[in-house]
Structure 1
């Protein structure tokens, strides 16, 4: 298995404000509306979540929901109609579907950064390598869970350590799961705190979105996704770790940028 150490990058501070501003501007250049795409994502995940919740509903849940919201849901309780194994199977399938769809979102936003036209069906492109996506998600979950057993903080650090693994896999589905994880470990070394601060910078927006019953997420989620990818690409460039497409054939033209908008030649 290939080991990644990368170039030594000491005391490099990424310009968070500039990268976030760049991400906002980039969303405006998307040839397929990122906000309508996000609306599609939210609609599909809402349906999947609804199916999972519907199958898992029992009398106790229906009663508590009825008390809290004044809506009688007792007619939805299915625990007598479906065996527990069926309910479990549907819940697992829904969880796996969400994993693959999340990769589809990453594929869409990576494509925007390359300047490509990413149609709405990009959301489902992850199914072409769904096995790797699911395996990667499971391995990441296990690693983070094991670190969390030591203490909460190591678990949080581990989550940031593997943060870019899915982006590495989406950029190059030919690599293995552990290679994507090892890339992410090398990429995030020295940058975890800055990634944490990046996440903190969206807390206010997240609280505001909750006050709008999540409607603001239609605009917020693409902004967060592109900002995260902006950090990913800057770190790739600085460390020289990650997928870089082959240099174009010599056609007599000057190519100052690669398809990801970075000077990597």
Structure 2
């Protein structure tokens, strides 16, 4: 969880405490408020100290129990302000993968330079339709979400039109593991690797591969994307983190440049991809 998120949640907790203590007619102790709400005392403490994220229902109940129902709108705005930075997959995928892809498309559309790091999957902007379809199906199965792979693929392929816009630049780094991960049948991966080799000559794409044997200055952790140094999106198993604060973006950009020092480009990258392509014959 980001420091900004923690600070925002703590600020919301402080405001909750203020409402409890400034209740018209006299403040309430934590125990008294818990009794009014039929909550355990520990929940009051966790919310006020920023150790638990309140739900909108919690906030409405708190405002009512402290006899300040009008405070709900303020509390809800605070919650939405910091929750928007952590976009859980459960919520995002409630309507399927297509809306998520369209949101990403909007960010790419307004960006000139996009930085990407992927440690175990081919970067979405460079995926073939068949490869992307298998990725979407895998995730939809994992999260039990809507199976809309065909619509999601069309949305992701729409993004690739920007690969041919001269004002765009995609600076992509991938670990060699992404070239071997069989999240799809070998023939699909073979076609995907052929596609990667074909992108090396594109003017808008700078594709770097970190070979297995390359020395690493930092561990190759979760994938992330940077958009014009104004937005960082990092992926985890439970959520995407959308980070807009300068310190976070600076950190991710420093990580990207550190990883780049281990990458190979051009003919060397082509050789690594070609080696992975030949290795598929064993399957």
TM bucket normalised to smaller: under 0.3
Give the TM-score normalised by the residue count of structure 1. Answer: 0.21
Question: More helix by proportion, 1 or 2?
Answer: 1
Rg comparison, structure with higher value:
2
Question: More strand by proportion, 1 or 2?
Answer: 2
